[in-house]
Amino acid sequence: MNPLSSAGLLGWLRFKHLVLLTTLDRSRNLHAAARAMHLSQPAASKMLRDLEGFFGFALFERLPRAMLPTELGEPVIRHAWRLLNEADRLVSDINDLRAGGYGRLLIGAIAAAAPEILPEAIARLKRERPRLSIHLQEQTSDRLLIELEYKRLDLVIGRLTHVSQHNQFDFEPLRDEPLRVVVRRDHPLTRGVAVPSLATLARWPWILHPLTSPMRGVFETALAAEGVTSPDNVVETTSIQTTLQLLLDSDMLAVLPRSVLRRPLESGQYVLLERIIGKPLDYYGIITRRDETLPSTARALIEHLRELAARPLEGVTGEAAPEGEEEGEEMRP
């Protein structure tokens, strides 16, 4: 079999082929994919056979109740998603420019960056380019990196979640983040004078990020290091607003980065327990796709982020108990 060439691929492949691959990847059913594309099932089936004949291997495994990507088909489908996302971005940018706009900047950010340096960096950029459309998506790093890989974001302010990602993305560190335990001001744990142990804290209900997030990883590692079983009364969410409201309405505890807590503590409704969980999170930073030229708007935002990250951090107040006391029995739930 002759090796595949770029010229051959560009001369043969059509956008409708990419649409079929991504639609079938989403539906896992040829009949549903054909219907979504307004094709007959025989026409969609022939198109898929043509694609598999061109590449020289099966792209989907035909199972009784579904069609699943094969090991060789997965990278082809992944690139199909990227190419279609690029096409969507091209159409959107051209329509924006024709309407008198100045393009779009798509940013992904973790919770630690969202309330801290990123808003000020965005405000600076908007003063320089007032008609630039900026879209901000806040999520955990693992989910944002998928969006970045598939070209649905221009850059991410977050953390790499696996060592292999250094081959895929460029990472420029900005800040590290100590994790603190926060509760409502009149929580029972604030009435003692002792510093609660992790074993005591684990017996209370918690609000935590999903297990796949770096923040949850630090929490679980800290528990394991002291031989403490993970809490079994847990609400999982990435929403800071939901977390803060749940803290006010219950006896739940949350572990959050220092930067997220500055404004809530100023309100007087929350306090920090004198307990730092584990080591600080690894530095969060600017993540971009490797070997890809950034738009000028992204480069300008990065310059503002660098300047703001270089400023010293203000302290976080609101500790509920002095450090160094022994644990008291009255702190048990």
Max mean pLDDT range (84-98, 254-268, 292-306): 292-306
- Reported as a pLDDT band with limits 50, 70 and 90, residue 164 is confident
More confident residue, 31 or 317: 31
DSSP 211: T
Four-CA torsion 304, 306, 309, 310, nearest 10 degrees: -110
Taking residues 275-302, report their average pLDDT: 86
pLDDT score of 128: 92
Decide: 115 and 264 in contact? Cβ < 8 Å.
no
Mean pLDDT for all residues in the chain: 86
Q: Considering the chain, what percentage of its residues have pLDDT values greater than 70?
A: 89
Name which of 38, 143, 40, 96 is nearest 295 in CA terms.
96
Residue 319 has pLDDT above 60, yes or no: no
Residue-level pLDDT at 193:
66
Can you tell me the distance from the alpha carbon of 232 to that of 203, in angstroms, rounded to the nearest whole number?
8
Q: Please state the rounded mean pLDDT for residues 252-270.
A: 85
Q: How large is the average pLDDT for residues 254-261?
A: 81
Give the whole-angstrom CA distance, residue 81 versus residue 199: 46
Q: Is the model's pLDDT at 333 over the cut of 70? A: no
How far is residue 190's CA from residue 129's CA, in Å, rounded to a whole number?
47
Query: Mean pLDDT across the stretch 249-278?
Result: 86
Residue 47 — pLDDT band, cuts 50, 70, 90?
very high
328 compared with 48, residue with greater pLDDT: 48
Listed in sequence order, the residues at least 6 apart from 65 whose beta carbon sits closer than 8 Å to its beta carbon are none
User: Closest Cα to residue 199, out of 224, 166, 235?
Assistant: 224
What is the per-residue pLDDT for 44? 94
pLDDT bin (cut points 50, 70, 90) of residue 326 is very low
> According to the model, what pLDDT value does residue 324 have?
39
